[in-house]
Amino acid sequence: MISCARLLNILIVCAASLSAVVSTSWAQSFPSRPVKLVVPYVPGGGADTVARVMAQGLTEEFGQTVLVENKGGANTIIGTEFVANSPPDGYTLLICTTAHAINPSLYKLNFDTLKAFTHVTMHLGASLLLVVHPSVPANSVSELIALAKAQPGKLTFASYGTGSPGHLSGELFMKLTGTEMLHIPYKGSSPSIADVVAGRATMSFAVLEPVLPFVKSGHVRALGVVMAERATQLPQMPTIGETVPGFAISGFNGVCAPSATPKPVIERLNAAIIKVMTNPAVRDRLIKSGSDILERPLPTPEFEVFVRSEVLRWQKIVQDAGVKVN
């Protein structure tokens, strides 16, 4: 005769086995309907462009439509919170960028960045470039610093949102160079770059991908790379850090899902995204557009560790720059 304790153990093992079978079966059939890829920016920026290339590849890989939905605003918080509150079934995903790691240091969020998401995979870095309107009488970072010191508070820098890497780059630049400039935030990369092109803003610490065509066409002048190393797309362009010691801002682009999404579904998403983003044709297309493609996309465990480290790193940058938001 089986004791109650023994029977309970048997039932627990059976339930766990059944759960594993159901979960694996679900993952094998995933996706069985369209998938939504939320971009927490307005259309036209670097993250939006990459998302649309990825969505096209995933549509072919899954045999199901992958739709891009833009939910811009509040330095990505609107779109990010939407995904955090979505069903954890793999059908609503988030393009998570550097702002994902910055926001916990700047805002009181309605979600815990590290607990609300599973960070599926990271496939891109995010290079930024300091550009000025061609009318600005500065052809180097040192000349720009001299101009800013001669006209304190008169030069303006456009960014793709308060608290964005473009904004923090400007704040750190001012702190390290002893200059004073006016920050003008926009809801995305495209409108911020457009106002520099039009001469309504002096400069921008802009995402490389959307601003690169304007650099090549001469509509803006590039002065320096924001990252610690020179950009592969502009190997002759010096970094700002070569003129301003201690200056370096880096970024990333990846995909996140609500944290309770079943592990087999996460594994399916991870494998599919890595397959698409390592496709030679996709890589070539993105590199030509200015994207900073990783040689090896990060799988989920490594991306999780990376995001945790980025949250801590940005806390220090925010503190060092003395940035505060309302």
Q: How many CB atoms lie within 10 A of CB 259?
A: 16
pLDDT for 27 equals 55
Please give the pLDDT value at position 317: 84
Q: Which positions ≥6 away from 136 have C-beta within 8 Å?
A: 144, 147, 202, 203, 221
Q: Locate 281 and state its tokens.
A: 């044709």
pLDDT reported for residue 18: 47
State the pLDDT at residue 5. 55
Q: Which two tokens stand for residue 273?
A: 């995204």
pLDDT at 7: 52
Letter for the amino acid at 101?
Answer: A
Distance, in Å, from the CA atom of 116 to the CA atom of 230, rounded to the nearest integer, reads: 34
Residue 151: φ, ψ to 5°: -130, 65
Q: How far apart are CA 321 and CA 314, in angstroms?
A: 10
Q: How far apart are CA 168 and CA 259, in angstroms?
A: 28
- Look at residue 4 in the predicted model and tell me its pLDDT: 52
Residues in the chain with pLDDT values less than 70: 1-28, 326
For residue 113, the model assigns a pLDDT of 96
- Are the C-beta atoms of residues 272 and 62 closer than 8 Å to each other? yes
Strand, helix or coil for residue 307: helix
Domains annotated on the chain, with CATH:
33-125+251-321 (3.40.190.150), 128-242 (3.40.190.10)
How far is residue 306's CA from residue 131's CA, in Å, rounded to a whole number?
A: 29
